[in-house]
Amino acid sequence: MIKEPTAAGYFVKSSEHREGINTIRLKKYNYTNVYGPLDSGIIPFSFFGTPSDTLDVFGRATNLGYGRIDSDMDAVSPKRGSLGPLGGSLGAGTTQLALTFVAQAFNDLQHNLASEARSHNALKLRGGPYSGMLPVRGWQNVDTRHTNFLENMYLGYLMPYLRENKRDETITSFDEFLKMFFGDFFNNVLLRDSLPLTRSAYSLSKRFTPLGSGLVIDLSNEDHNDDGQKYNEWLSHPSYNVVRDAAANFGFALDKHAPWRLIANLQSPKMLPYIQGKGLLQDKTIATRLIAGQPVQSSDVFNVFYDKIYKRDIDILKRSVYNFYVRFVENRPYISSAKSVGCSIDSSDGRAPTSRTMMAYRKKITYEQMENKYDDYFWLNQYFMIRIAEASGELNPEILQRQLKKVSYIKKYLGHDKALTYINEYVNILAPPLAKSLFGGAASSQNIQVTGQAASIPSAASTPGTSGY
């Protein structure tokens, strides 16, 4: 049973999020203690640490990567063909989605709790926050969200940066724009404000949402920062225990810090039949998802239902930077400047200099022209340095140059995809996803050990020619 609060001001309120850290810690400790030892033995899920830790929100965020990184520590997103509709969706007139097996499990849970055929459960939920078990938010598309993020970055950061100190007047070509973007702007603005440029970095950042995994379903849009509301409207209602127990029977856990949020538990034996596609045929014992003739297992989920994001990173980066420049040129097609052209007769001083306004048009460039000038070697090297910086990894200049040579070597002899894989593996080892900020720092750059596919690649003795600015 959920414990009763013992004092006024027991919980954090949304308006109090700027209180001192000690006060916030105490109130979060109180909120966590409300749960106490749960008689059911069902431990609520927490994205912010070990759920049994009373200070999990301030501890190591061991679960923040849940559903967002696979066993290789690679950022992933659901395949579009692996998504299915959630029953009774309430979101903005559209059907909410989740991974197909998650949607199937949720729809069964919803039917169990809310259908008239299960009136004994429906009555327990009536009038409470879980009434109807209607999803308001499901899967969020990382592609759409990141595209919108880049748009806001262009309007809110890049354009003001160019206008500041008339930096835009020094840019007349794509070459100059590229130097500025990957140079001062990236280092002095994006890194300073923790603005992720690559889609991989964005997908793992706090600017994205756990809903992107396809494993999470929200039944409400409540404020996550208002612990009092969570307790008064959700935890203290008798239906909380009903839903918590029923959810576990269908392979879900409730979010400790958002009791309206369901998270698919990939390790639950109750979720496994849904992962395997049992129940899709008349014979409910037959698995319909197979690998080499054998039913899919929980360990296969990321291989079957997800794509690795890093494989698209460079294409997205190229297209984004190119589009930024095209828009910049469209909005500011020319640079105007005053130029002295001679003297005129002035009634007071005799002769005085005269000037006229000169216009220099910025050079346009096609996407094909950009690709011809800036080849794969350039983009791989640039991408490598960006990923290192985004991961907060540190490489001294000697190690960095050695690794750039190795990337070029792999590209030349093994191909673009192998070079991209090497970059991703190396960055993950240098600074594992979510580890730098949440686990206390990255590994020392002097002690990097490359494993997997990259380990078999010899060090480069020479480097093929690469393009530059």
What is the number of H-type helices and E-type strands within the chain?
17, 11
Q: Which residue has the higher pLDDT, 449 or 40?
A: 40
253 and 197 both lie in a single domain: no
Q: Which residue has the higher pLDDT, 371 or 60?
A: 371
Read off φ and ψ for residue 422, nearest 5 degrees.
-60, -45
Cβ partners under 8 Å of residue 316, min gap 6: 146, 198, 199
20 and 88 both lie in a single domain: yes
Label residue 27 by pLDDT band (50, 70, 90): confident
Label residue 349 by pLDDT band (50, 70, 90): low
Label residue 432 by pLDDT band (50, 70, 90): confident
The structural domain count of the chain equals 3
Residue 461 covered by a domain? no
Residue 215 covered by a domain? no
User: Considering 369, 389, 407, which residue would you say is the last residue of a domain?
Assistant: 369
Measured in whole angstroms, the distance separating CA 135 from the mean position of its chain's CA atoms is 22
Cβ partners under 8 Å of residue 341, min gap 6: 354, 355, 356
235 and 199 both lie in a single domain: no
Residue 466 covered by a domain? no
Query: Is 0.75 surpassed by the pTM of this model?
Result: yes
User: Considering 323, 352, 369, which residue would you say is the last residue of a domain?
Assistant: 369
**Lowest-confidence range among 71-75, 95-99, 180-184, 444-448?**
444-448
247 and 130 both lie in a single domain: yes
Q: Which of 68, 84, 83, 99 is nearest to 308 (CA)?
A: 68
Q: Which of 187, 162, 150 is nearest to 329 (CA)?
A: 162
Residue 199 covered by a domain? yes
Decide if 423 contacts 407 (C-beta within 8 A).
Answer: yes
414: left (phi over 0), alpha (psi -120 to 50) or beta: alpha
pLDDT over 50 (residue 182): yes
Decide if 296 contacts 289 (C-beta within 8 A).
Answer: yes
pLDDT in tens, 11-25: 777 665 556 666 766
344-358: b or e for each residue (b if 16 or more CB lie within 10 Å)?
Answer: eeeeeeeeeeeeeee
Label residue 55 by pLDDT band (50, 70, 90): very low
Residues above pLDDT 70, as percent of the chain: 77
278 and 335 both lie in a single domain: no
Residue 201 covered by a domain? yes
- Token duo for residue 176: 């100059």
Residue 357 covered by a domain? yes
186 and 316 both lie in a single domain: yes
What pLDDT shows up at residue 355? 60
127 and 147 both lie in a single domain: no
Residue 305 covered by a domain? no
59 and 177 both lie in a single domain: no
Read off φ and ψ for residue 239, nearest 5 degrees.
-70, -15
pLDDT in tens, 387-403: 999 987 677 889 999 99
pLDDT mean across residues, the chain: 82
Find the domain containing 150 and state its range: 142-208+311-369
What pLDDT shows up at residue 350? 58
Residue 91 covered by a domain? yes
421 and 325 both lie in a single domain: no
pLDDT in tens, 433-453: 754 333 223 333 333 333 343
335 and 198 both lie in a single domain: yes
Decide if 235 contacts 259 (C-beta within 8 A).
Answer: yes
118 and 226 both lie in a single domain: yes
E strand or H helix at 64:
none
What pLDDT shows up at residue 50? 55
166 and 117 both lie in a single domain: no
User: Considering 349, 369, 389, which residue would you say is the last residue of a domain?
Assistant: 369
Q: CA 350 to CA 379: how far, in whole Å? A: 59
